[in-house]
A = this chain, B = another copy of it.
Amino acid sequence: MSRFESIALIGTGRVANQLGHALLEQGETISGVYGRNSKEAEKLADKLDSRVIENLSEVIQADLILLTVSDDSITDVSRLLNSKNRGLVAHTSGAVPLSAIEGVKRKAVFYPLQSFSLDKQVIWENVPFCLEAENDADLNGLGDLAELLSQRIHVLSSEQRKSLHLAAVFANNFANLMFELSEDLLAKAEIDRSILHPLILETANKVLMQSAAVSQTGPAARGDKKTIEAHRALLGEGNSYREIYDRLTNEIYNRTHEQKL
């Protein structure tokens, strides 16, 4: 059990659902759930052995108040909280600074870095937790709580977390776009997309072993202009695939070339 005898959840979305269940399983007490949609709040409160918080302005009986609301709502929701709340108020967002929480006694960030689905079970022990607080006592409290779920605890400033969030867009959304473009090319050639799955897994597994710069292979890294020209001819001109191919091939070529100088 953590130092927080009771935890309140503000929000009923994916993070509230997944985090609420995981904390309950670890013996934590979810003392209240608030949602704009009262039906959703009741449903989640039921599941979490908790009660519904009817109004954000009531005094919330909790040592920790987790704001699992959308990034844009964090400031507004924090302003609506009763100033008599005794609990530490922490948001769970990667992109939003600590200072976005306003009008509360103590604020913090409790950010689990993962893309959450409503249906898919989260493997919590693999989820990095990024923590920020205004004092060591609160930081340690959040650290204890995060350690119930994961061994990957990071203390990051708001500035660092902002960079991390941007880096995650490259590593997750943009890498996924590359997989999407490759699936399109396979579909056009009437090849089942599963053919690339082993290579995709290998690509991901390799960066766990060594830096991506070291792992890079392929025609651009080799400077194999003949293959690059064949690829460009196959893609044709004036389409997204070709534009992205040219831009990224250039980038890899320049990087590999610079390294060799």
How many residues of A sit at the interface, in one of the four size bands? 35 or more
CB < 8 Å: which of B127, B189, B217 contacts A164?
B189
Q: CB-CB < 8 A to A215: which residues of B?
A: 176
The complex places the Cα of A189 from the Cα of B160 at a distance, in Å, of 6
- Is A39 in the interface zone, CB < 8 Å from B? no
- How many copies make up the complex? 2
Return the CB mask of A178-189 against B: 1 if under 8 Å, else 0. 111111011011
Query: Within A166-225, which residues are at the interface with B (CB < 8 Å)?
Result: 166-183, 185-186, 188-193, 195-208, 211-213, 215-221, 224
Q: Is B114 touching A213 in the complex (CB atoms < 8 A)?
A: no
**A-to-B contact residues, CB < 8 Å:** 71-72, 95, 113-115, 126-128, 130, 152, 154, 156, 159-160, 162-183, 185-186, 188-193, 195-208, 211-213, 215-221, 224, 226-227, 230-231, 234-235, 240, 243-245, 247-248, 251-252, 255
